[in-house]
Chains A and B, each alone.
Chain A
């Protein structure tokens, strides 16, 4: 099972708040090819998360359509196509690493497509299968969350600022590690980030959202001649795309 194709057409979302309906997403359109990494950048964390939540059916759109290989998000969710990595690892403290990774399978009652041992291997956690989350470092916890998302072998991986709770060095390591994993698993990935560098490093496609109600201000494609690894970080083409994104993020009119 490889990544799925994603088609978002003039999507609008209104959220219920204490002050009535809030128009959060306005007329967003986007396509993602199977296996593409899509980064979502924008000023408000809540808006970006809302887009992810709509993609997995936690939030219902008020207009437009959203199709994952032709299915609605809720249908895709029921087919086990979606893997979810929250901002904080959200590991259950009463379960060891292996049991945490198995949680999605336990909920759905399905057998793993790839063996859990192999997944543990991929995230370098084979020696920690019986360890409890409280005994793991933040980076390891995030790797468990990653492994948990991969356990159902999803077609679409959604990540809500997955590395933002980690310190800088660890974050850089995890980003590269994720790219390495993705080259094996090849899901379509949507990730929300507030870091230009993270978007430039990881994304094939970046969508920059405007403030509320958020429109897709720019959608740009990023491609590199060299491999996405540690060396890319110090390359000219990487700096060029960071600069390009920063230019796009600048407010259009300089009022004062």
Chain B
């Protein structure tokens, strides 16, 4: 409880300070006949008010974004895991294409996104999902591939002595041993999938939270902009919590192991 309470109090103090200071400054500016700061940086109360007034549209937008992000996450994770397994089964394919994967990864997403949208269409569900897939695919591929290749040799040799087939090696030895790193990668990738979808919508969509953010900027509605940010942060954090929960429920041995490493 204390772990949550203290940071929460700091945040509260910060918000109260922000509210009071800005209200005071705004009064001074008003007396001088200048515009309110609210147009550039809204106060916490304004943000909350905008959020409540527009909660239906914001939720609907978030929902649309979440659907695209989930599709991106699912497809990206599936492709990343499959590719890492393929690499492990066929080292020749790995050495031929892994450098390309690395090179592709270094293209910044803000540059890639317009290219994708241009190719797959403005305002298309598909292009947003693809942007999201790209942000999910590479981290999962690279971290799983790393876990596979830097695996403790004792395990693979053991399986070899018992004549394990390549597929058995993956299924019985490599995947279980790599699953802690896989989960770490999934936890990083889940918020990325939302970032990807948001950037995609930002550049070329008529729906979703990304679109709502651009509209809020053009329409000078900073309260909505900030509310969108808050909901994005909450949803991103929740995706990590969901993966944590899956890990806890289905892979409890991972936590056993990590608690042992600490002790």
Q: Is the contact region of chain B dominated by helix, strand, or loop, or is it mixed?
A: helix
* Shortest Cβ gap from B73 to chain A (Å): 24
* Shortest Cβ gap from B231 to chain A (Å): 37
Q: Does A34 contact B (CB under 8 A)?
A: no
Is the pair A77, B161 in contact by a Cβ cutoff of 8 Å? yes
Q: Does A88 contact B (CB under 8 A)?
A: yes
With both beta carbons as reference points, the residue of chain A lying nearest to B156 in the complex is identified as A90
A88→B256 CA distance, assembly (Å): 19
Q: Does A62 contact B (CB under 8 A)?
A: no
Is the pair A135, B256 in contact by a Cβ cutoff of 8 Å? yes
Is the pair B161, A82 in contact by a Cβ cutoff of 8 Å? yes
Q: Does B155 contact A (CB under 8 A)?
A: yes
Is the pair A86, B168 in contact by a Cβ cutoff of 8 Å? no
Is the pair A107, B154 in contact by a Cβ cutoff of 8 Å? no
Is the pair A78, B253 in contact by a Cβ cutoff of 8 Å? no
Residues of A within 8 A of B254 (CB): 93-94
A225→B3 CA distance, assembly (Å): 66
Is the pair A134, B260 in contact by a Cβ cutoff of 8 Å? yes
State the interface size on chain A (CB cutoff 8 A). 26
* Shortest Cβ gap from B248 to chain A (Å): 14
Q: Does A132 contact B (CB under 8 A)?
A: yes
Is the pair A90, B154 in contact by a Cβ cutoff of 8 Å? yes
Q: Does A108 contact B (CB under 8 A)?
A: yes
Q: Does A84 contact B (CB under 8 A)?
A: yes
Is the pair A94, B251 in contact by a Cβ cutoff of 8 Å? yes
A152→B157 CA distance, assembly (Å): 17
* Chain B window 9-29, contacts with chain A (Cβ cutoff 8 Å), 1 for yes, 0 for no: 000000000000000000000
A53→B158 CA distance, assembly (Å): 11
Q: Does B216 contact A (CB under 8 A)?
A: no
Residues of B within 8 A of A77 (CB): 161-163
* Chain A window 57-96, contacts with chain B (Cβ cutoff 8 Å), 1 for yes, 0 for no: 0100000000000000000011010101011101011110
Is the pair A134, B253 in contact by a Cβ cutoff of 8 Å? yes
Q: Does A103 contact B (CB under 8 A)?
A: yes
Interface residues of A in 145-193 (CB under 8 A from B): 152, 158
Query: Assuming A92-B177, A93-B253, is B157 touching A103 (CB within 8 A)?
Result: no
- In the complex, which of the residues A58, A88, A93, A135 contacts B160, with contact meaning CB atoms closer than 8 Å? A58
Residues of B within 8 A of A82 (CB): 161
- In the complex, which of the residues A87, A93, A95, A103 contacts B154, with contact meaning CB atoms closer than 8 Å? A87
Residues of A within 8 A of B259 (CB): 134
Query: Assuming A92-B176, A107-B172, is B157 touching A58 (CB within 8 A)?
Result: yes
Residues of A within 8 A of B170 (CB): none
B interface, size bucket: 20 to 34
A55→B260 CA distance, assembly (Å): 35
Is the pair A132, B253 in contact by a Cβ cutoff of 8 Å? yes
Is the pair B159, A107 in contact by a Cβ cutoff of 8 Å? yes
Q: Does B152 contact A (CB under 8 A)?
A: yes
Q: Does B122 contact A (CB under 8 A)?
A: no
Residues of A within 8 A of B157 (CB): 53, 58, 84, 86
Is the pair B163, A108 in contact by a Cβ cutoff of 8 Å? yes
Residues of B within 8 A of A43 (CB): none
A172→B154 CA distance, assembly (Å): 24
Residues of B within 8 A of A134 (CB): 253, 256-257, 259-260
Q: Does B109 contact A (CB under 8 A)?
A: no
With both beta carbons as reference points, the residue of chain B lying nearest to A73 in the complex is identified as B161
Interface residues of A in 84-127 (CB under 8 A from B): 84, 86-88, 90, 92-95, 103-104, 106-108
Q: Does A56 contact B (CB under 8 A)?
A: yes
* Shortest Cβ gap from B169 to chain A (Å): 9
A6→B154 CA distance, assembly (Å): 24
A40→B256 CA distance, assembly (Å): 37
Residues of B within 8 A of A106 (CB): 172
* Chain B window 147-187, contacts with chain A (Cβ cutoff 8 Å), 1 for yes, 0 for no: 00000101101111111100010001100110100000000
Point out which of A56, A78, A103 has the most chain B C-beta atoms below 10 A from its C-beta. A103
Query: Assuming A77-B163, A134-B256, is B154 touching A94 (CB within 8 A)?
Result: no
Residues of A within 8 A of B161 (CB): 56, 58, 77, 82, 84, 158
Residues of A within 8 A of B177 (CB): 92-93
Residues of B within 8 A of A135 (CB): 256, 260
* Shortest Cβ gap from A236 to chain B (Å): 39
Query: Assuming A86-B154, A88-B154, is B253 touching A94 (CB within 8 A)?
Result: yes
Point out which of A87, A104, A134 has the most chain B C-beta atoms below 10 A from its C-beta. A134
Apart from A84-B157, A94-B251, what are 15 other A-B pairs with CB-CB below 8 Å?
A58-B157, A77-B161, A86-B154, A88-B152, A90-B154, A93-B177, A95-B176, A103-B159, A107-B159, A107-B162, A108-B163, A132-B256, A134-B253, A152-B162, A158-B161
Closest 3 CB pairs of A and B: A90-B154, A84-B161, A94-B176
